[in-house]
Amino acid sequence: MTRSENMFEEAKKIMPGGVNSPVRAYQAVHRSPLFIDHAKGSKIVDVDGKEYIDYVCSWGPGILGHADDRVIKAVQDACAKGLTFGAPTEKETILAEMVQEIMPSMEMMRLVNSGTEAVMSAIRVARGYTGRDKIVKFRGCYHGHSDGLLVKAGSGALTQAVPDSLGVPADYTKNTLVAEYNDINSVKQLFEQYGKEIATVVVEPVAANMGVVPPKPGFLEELREITQQYGALLIFDEVITGFRLSLGGAQEYYGITPDLTTLGKIIGGGMPMAAYGGRREIMEKVAPLGGVYQAGTLSGNPIATTAGITTLRILKENADHIYPQIADATRQLADAARNTFGDSVQVNQVGSLMSVFFTKEPVVDYNSATSADTEAYAAYFNAMLQQGIYLAPSQFESMFVSAVHSKEDLARTIEAMHNCR
């Protein structure tokens, strides 16, 4: 057995499935996971000493690559002053002001510790501000593991949601309505039936948790119009797209201004960090100013804020170079996948996000995404892994490209793709 295999056996004795997040168990690709020892730049190295070109990038935060010297030095210096104080620090304000400058729609914000916490809190604020209970989400979009969002559509295409996890009472999801991503008519029908009860529509502006599915032209614009028409709020879940599609995220990329935004991953620079925020009049409902309660022991801690400040500063200073570079690199990989596999795959790419779907059907929503051949993807994943290319161990996750993936990395990856034919 390899050291990774031995470590996995030990981990399974003490943690459910041997992991702290289900996708890490590699069940969808029929093998045991790699245990990682260290990483630098575009490479990760497992405990058996094998090096891989990494296109998971810790599921998105690693836009600068692993262990960027500038971020590491700043974090080390911050650690020497103390890890957490449970009291305000100037760094919280500095980071929030940086975010506000980059994303002007976030006039006021609150720092939290995870994307799940950010979306859960944003929805609570939306309900508190509007005085309404129902929310609309989209089938196939993931917004964290809070009870009211772990839902799936019932027997009808348009229905109140039913729980998608054991342990979630039906009462928790009775106010969650499920629409179809990229189908504005499904949204209109929900508003026609429940319009005065709907507090908010929450959406990944680019769906990235059923694989990468970009919005159809006009879809986001129509969401903005219909929410304004009915007095509901529009929440952009930019946990993945924030600071990745462009410096200003999907809202800058597509030119749509939401009422509230949730951020995660890149904002923490590799540390646990997230944020939610938006229009001042809405965020003033949050305690201690208003009656919407939310708190967190480690929220805005000085280590995570240091990593976030340093990462955003680097991205801001180099935005004109980084974003075209990573989009072009991802485009090269997307073209290579199309050339290699032909019409047996659909390749969706937006900026530095990309998915290869093993289906002949264009992937535009949940149904078409789940038409993909997951066994074919598993074979592809394992063939690439054998050649030193580390992809997401699931058909329904994104491939992430960083600013430090080199021409040599891309050439090796494209060659490995060709070898999978």
Catalytic residues: 142, 237, 265
Which token pair is 340?
A: 């290699």
Give 207's strand partners.
Answer: 213
Give the Cα separation of 38 and 51 in Å (integer): 10
Give the Cα separation of 357 and 340 in Å (integer): 13
Which token pair is 203?
A: 């959406």
CA atoms within 13 A on the CB side of 338: 12
* Contact indicator for 233, 279 with CB cutoff of 8 Å: no
Nearest to 256 by CA among 291, 306, 206: 206
Give the Cα separation of 348 and 346 in Å (integer): 7
Give the Cα separation of 34 and 45 in Å (integer): 9
Give the Cα separation of 47 and 129 in Å (integer): 50
- Output the CA–CA distances (angstroms, integers) from residue 353 to 15, 28, 326, in the order listed: 31, 21, 9
- Output the CA–CA distances (angstroms, integers) from residue 184 to 188, 226, 314, in the order listed: 6, 9, 38
Query: How is 317-345 classified by DSSP, letter by letter?
Result: HTHHHHHHHHHHHHHHHHHHHHHHHGGG-
Look-up of token digits 């575009």: 42
Which token pair is 330?
A: 């991802």
Which H or E run includes 76?
A: helix 69-79
Give the Cα separation of 195 and 213 in Å (integer): 27
